[in-house]
Amino acid sequence: MDDYLFKNESYSIVGILFEVHKNLGKGFSEIVYKDAIEYKLQHLGILYEREKEYSVCYKNTILKHKFYADFVIYDKIILKIKTVDCFNNAHYNQCLNYLKISGNQLAILTNFNLISLEYKRIISSR
């Protein structure tokens, strides 16, 4: 199990996600869950950036469109928050795009819109 990427950091993030879901339940908009997660990250003194901006480079040119990751935690894990009926390929692809442009290796995709919290670890294949 030593090859589990960012095991301790992932465990602390998922713990925060479960605590937020336990306290708020399902049904709120994404922004409410993001605010609660940010509150908890600050309370625990965990390094994070919210709505981190990433540029896309194409043939040595920076494109006009930017990507904004919901959170980058510990300067290496992207956290994407969703409130959907279920994950679909667009959600996974969005995380893969964030990983590609950020150079990070791990994203955690989270869905708060179910009775139980749903999350998936997405690892870059670089």
Express each pLDDT in 71-119 by its tens digit.
999 999 999 999 999 999 999 999 999 999 999 999 999 999 999 999 9
pLDDT in the model for residue 24: 97
State the burial class of residue 9 (Cβ atoms within 10 Å of its Cβ: 0-12, 13-18, 19+): middle
Which backbone phi and psi does 43 adopt, to 5 degrees?
-60, -35
* Domains, the chain, with CATH or none: 7-123 (3.40.1350)
Predicted model pTM: 0.93
pLDDT in the model for residue 79: 98
pLDDT in the model for residue 121: 97
Q: What is the rounded CA–CA span in Å between residue 112 and residue 98?
A: 20
pLDDT in the model for residue 2: 55
Q: Which of 49, 52, 29 is nearest to 41 (CA)?
A: 49
